[in-house]
A and B are shown apart, each in its own frame.
Chain A
Amino acid sequence: NAGVTQTPKFQVLKTGQSMTLQCAQDMNHEYMSWYRQDPGMGLRLIHYSVGAGITDQGEVPNGYNVSRSTTEDFPLRLLSAAPSQTSVYFCASTQWGVGETQYFGPGTRLLVL
C-alpha cells in the first residue's frame, strides 16, 4: 500500500492564482482531512470529510474548498491564493471509529508570492 500520497511536493504561486492540492489514500479510510502547519501555530484543521459526498469545515476553512467524490481522493482547492496561505499542507486519513491513528501524507510546501 502507498498509504496517503500528496502532489505536488512543492509549489510556488503568485497572489490571485488558483490551484488544487491532490490527496489520495489506498487504505479505504472513510475519514480524511486537510491541515496546515505554520511555525509556532501547530497543525490546524482546514476541512475534513467523513465519507464520500460529505465534507465539513474545520478551524481555518476560509480561502479553501474541498470535495469528496470518491473514498480515495480528497483534493484541496485554493480559490485565489494569498501570501497568508504560504504554509505546509498535510492530508491525513483514518478509519472512522477504529482508533484514531491518523496517517499523514508527506506534505505539500506552498509559497505564495
Chain B
Amino acid sequence: RKEVEQDPGPFNVPEGATVAFNCTYSNSASQSFFWYRQDCRKEPKLLMSVYSSGNEDGRFTAQLNRASQYISLLIRDSKLSDSATYLCVVYRYGGSQGNLIFGKGTKLSVKP
C-alpha cells in the first residue's frame, strides 16, 4: 500500500461545478499536510497547507481528519484555470522517501 493515496481521477467537470478530492495517508506519525498543484509540463507549486481545524482560501477549502488519516480538497465554482493535477503531500520525519511524501496526483479538467 502506498503511503499517500489519492482518487485516481481524472475528474472532468463543467465550469461552475464543485469538485472534491480525497487523500488518505498510512503513517500515523505524519505531521503536516499540503495540497500542491501541477500544471501540464510544469513544476509542482504549493496550493495550500492543511490544518486540523480546516482552512479556506477563496474557492478552495482543505480539511484534515487525523483520526481517519484523511485529507480533502474542495474547489467551489470551478474555473477553466483550475485545470491541473492536484498532489496530496504529507510531511513526516525520516525515511528513504524523504520528509515529503507525494501522492500520484488527481487530474482535474474543467470544461466550458
Classify chain B: how many residues form its interface, as a range.
10 to 19
Residue from B32, B44, B87, B97 in contact with A45 in the complex, judged by beta carbons closer than 8 Å: B97
Is B96's beta carbon under 8 Å from chain A?
yes
In chain A, positions 67-108 with a C-beta closer than 8 Å to chain B are 90, 99-102, 104-107
In chain B, positions 70-112 with a C-beta closer than 8 Å to chain A are 87, 91, 96-100, 102-105
B30 to chain A, nearest CB (A): 11
CB atoms of A102 and B104 under 8 A apart: no
Binary CB contact string for chain A from 6 to 50 against chain B (1 if under 8 A, 0 otherwise): 000000000000000000000000000100000011111100100
A45 to chain B, nearest CB (A): 4
Number of interface residues of A (CB under 8 A): 20
CA distance A38 to B1 in the complex (A): 19
B43 — which chain A residues lie within 8 A by C-beta? 90, 104-107
Interface core residue of A42, A90, A105 (most chain B CB under 10 Å): A42
Is A65's beta carbon under 8 Å from chain B?
no
Contacts A58-B97, A90-B43, A106-B43 given; does A100 touch B32 at CB 8 Å: yes
Is A57's beta carbon under 8 Å from chain B?
yes
**Which positions in B face A, CB cutoff 8 Å?**
32, 34, 42-46, 49, 87, 91, 96-100, 102-105
**Which positions in A face B, CB cutoff 8 Å?**
33, 40-45, 48, 57-59, 90, 99-102, 104-107
Q: Please, could you name 18 A-B residue pairs with CB atoms under 8 Å apart, sorted by A? A: A41-B104, A42-B87, A42-B105, A43-B87, A43-B102, A45-B96, A45-B98, A48-B98, A57-B96, A58-B97, A59-B96, A99-B32, A99-B49, A100-B34, A100-B91, A101-B46, A107-B42, A107-B43
Taking A42-B105, A48-B98, A58-B98 as given, write out 11 further A-B residue pairs in contact, using a Cβ cutoff of 8 Å, ordered by the A residue number.
A41-B104, A42-B104, A43-B44, A44-B97, A59-B96, A90-B43, A99-B49, A100-B91, A100-B99, A106-B42, A107-B43
